[in-house]
Structure 1
Amino acid sequence: MQRRHFLSTLAAASFVPGISFAQGKPIRLVVPFPPGGATDITARVLSEPLAKILQQPVVIDNRAGAGGSIGMAELARAAPDGLSFGVATLSTHGVNPAVYQKLPYDPIKGFAAVTELVKAPGVIVINPAVLPVGSFAELVKYLKANPGKVSYASPGNGTIGHMWGELFKSSTGTSMVHIPYRGAGPAINDVLAGQVPVYFDQVASSLPHVKAGKLKALAVSWSGRLDVLPEVPTYGELGYAASNDPSWFGMIAPAGTPAELVLRMQQAVATALKDPAVRERLALQGLYASGTTPAEFTKQIASEIEKMKKVAAFARIRLD
């Protein structure tokens, strides 16, 4: 029954009156990060249903490098003909504009916002073998009693993990030493090895280690408790609403893309995200289907940039 309903919805959504579109030509979806990561997985999960809805091939184009800047610059240069779209993230449209002095793209003027795709809850984890705390409150108390003596790892300067760590410090009034790594892999490995006791991560990445008892989750950034970590409170629940926002991925198009083509893609994404099979595939990766209007996503991007600018100012993060 669900599949028949979904296919009928696809048929209804595949034609939108009054919209001229390059039927049959492939749509390029630029992913500004390497294959295999959460951003790439999101794009690939959605590419098949979108191709059916739009009746056009959807081709993933991975353009990785410079924290997502290379891919975003490539998309900004693309023709605004409705055949090029891209996946924006909290990194490309929040962190990067806040910490880099020069970007090869304008996060606001260079693109037309289409829709948020998914949200990804964050988590603060510790290595319980080396840090003697059992809860978020105990961690804050310990850090205040030992200012500057505890370190936290991140995948690198100016990454989401770095910004989450600095946001935690500013909201709790604590002090920790930031240890940047060259990527998430080396960072999490040293946390597991006990070299660095604290890590700010997405739930999807840390969950297996939490379940195995190697890491302890103290708080998550989400609207409510997660089914996969029901015993872990949210930042908001603990009184730290500023840290309660999850990460996200969204879809954008080059600036100048006609509004009707932006709307057509937004409607196609909304239809795809209603499919239980799509939602389940995303949830297995710790990604939760959302969906917004172009106007809502435009406001969200502007808000995220301003929020990250405040964090960057607090932590004095400026990158060339």
Structure 2
Amino acid sequence: MQRRQFLCTAAASAVVSSAPGLAMAQDATRPLRIVVPFPPGGSTDMVPRNMQDVLPKLLGGQPVVIENRAGAGGSIGMAEVARATDGVTFGIATLSTQGVNPAVYKKLPYDAINDFVGVTEIVKAPGVLVINPAQIPVKNFAEFVAYLKANPGKVSFATPGNGTIAHMWGAQFLKSTGTQMTHIPYKGAGPAINDVLGGQVPVYFDQVASSLPHIKSGKVKALAVSWRERLDVLPDVPTYAEAGHPDLNDPSWFGLVAPKNTPPAQVERVQKAIVAALKDPAVKQRMASQGLYVSGTSSADFTKQIANEVAKMKKVAAVAQIHLD
């Protein structure tokens, strides 16, 4: 009887220890800290908050705390993550923080490749080209390109700032279409989109997640999206590939990284919890409604992806001569 009880207990323990969140139980005594390197309310902030209600369950009851550490294009928050040694601090990585910043800044307070280990790509975030229809009298992408060629250098495009992903997208667009526009950098996405809505600047390169409400209201018009197919939330808007520019079709992305010294077992534990959260129907629906498409890659694949993005963005920055120090 005692032997049978022991075997049952051992079997139960094996099941429990293999469940996400219950390996490394000592970490469940402290909250899992997710640093968002941008202000509240933006696309980057949406991503972890869409999962915040389900993650504690998947982490064996461990609380999840989301902290915004904005500034310097995401550099302040990512540097804080890189320095963390507590084993429970993770960071939301973006194409800007782990691809663009290393390409346009010679000096960063973190090394996008060597200071982190990738945990998982959480979502892909299609980009979108939008115009203020009251300022630019065109109906579609082809007419817009023709309009720019007829008015070289007379049209401006807004971005959240020099060296942002929107700036890189704008530079790629100009090269691909052989057109000219004047870049107007702002200090953040909020002021940029506000001036586009107000008619001060007629063109904006953005992520679907943050521009979608304005597109739906008709305040801006979407001309193309960077995605493999038309989006469910914007079924009438063609992809860049459909418009004849497949080189512009790469979306942005958001993922999770950990400091390089984080124990591999902890990285694996959190990766499994995130992937499980992304399979939750409510989470998937929230993401999709915001123009975000769930991913859930392995740690190894995401780590490799970051290195590839740095190399790619360095080429774009070199061609467009975008260097900020």
TM-score, normalisation: structure 1:
0.91
C-alpha distance in structure 2 between counterparts of 1:189 and 1:33, whole Å = 18
Q: Please state whether the residue corresponding to 2:53 is helix, strand or coil.
A: helix
Letter of the 1:245 counterpart: D
Say whether residues 1:13 and 2:25 are aligned partners: no
Aligned position for 1:78: 84
Question: What displacement does 1:207 show?
Answer: 2.1
Question: What displacement does 1:12 show?
Answer: 3.8
Letter of the 2:204 counterpart: Y
Letter of the 2:20 counterpart: A
Are the counterparts in 1 of residues 233 and 291 from structure 2 also a CA contact under 8 Å? no
C-alpha distance in structure 2 between counterparts of 1:12 and 1:304, whole Å = 33
Aligned position for 1:176: 181
Q: Deviations over 1:173-212 (max 9, x none)?
A: 1111101112222211222222222111111222222222
Q: Please state whether the residue corresponding to 1:23 is helix, strand or coil.
A: helix
Question: What displacement does 1:37 show?
Answer: 1.8
Are the counterparts in 1 of residues 241 and 249 from structure 2 also a CA contact under 8 Å? yes
C-alpha distance in structure 1 between counterparts of 2:319 and 2:141, whole Å = 22
Aligned position for 1:4: none
- From 223, 236, 239, the counterpart of 1:234: 239
Letter of the 1:281 counterpart: R
Say whether residues 1:64 and 2:70 are aligned partners: yes
C-alpha distance in structure 2 between counterparts of 1:205 and 1:26, whole Å = 29
Unpaired runs of 5+ residues, structure 2, are 1-14
Are the counterparts in 1 of residues 145 and 177 from structure 2 also a CA contact under 8 Å? yes
Q: Please state whether the residue corresponding to 2:102 is helix, strand or coil.
A: helix
Q: Any residues of structure 2 matched to 1:40-51 within 5 Å, and which?
A: 40-51=45-56
Are the counterparts in 2 of residues 28 and 83 from structure 1 also a CA contact under 8 Å? yes
* RMSD of Structure 2 on Structure 1 (CA): 2.0
Aligned position for 1:53: 58
C-alpha distance in structure 1 between counterparts of 2:48 and 2:187, whole Å = 24
Aligned position for 2:168: 163
Say whether residues 1:273 and 2:281 are aligned partners: no
Letter of the 1:101 counterpart: K
Aligned position for 1:3: none
C-alpha distance in structure 2 between counterparts of 1:45 and 1:133, whole Å = 36
Letter of the 2:83 counterpart: R
Letter of the 2:171 counterpart: E
Say whether residues 1:110 and 2:131 are aligned partners: no
Q: Please state whether the residue corresponding to 1:195 is helix, strand or coil.
A: coil
Aligned position for 1:201: 206
Question: What displacement does 1:230 show?
Answer: 0.7
Unpaired runs of 5+ residues, structure 1, are 1-7
Are the counterparts in 2 of residues 147 and 174 from structure 1 also a CA contact under 8 Å? yes
Aligned position for 1:99: 104
Question: What displacement does 1:20 show?
Answer: 6.7
C-alpha distance in structure 1 between counterparts of 2:40 and 2:134, whole Å = 33
C-alpha distance in structure 2 between counterparts of 1:213 and 1:48, whole Å = 32
Q: How many residues align?
A: 310
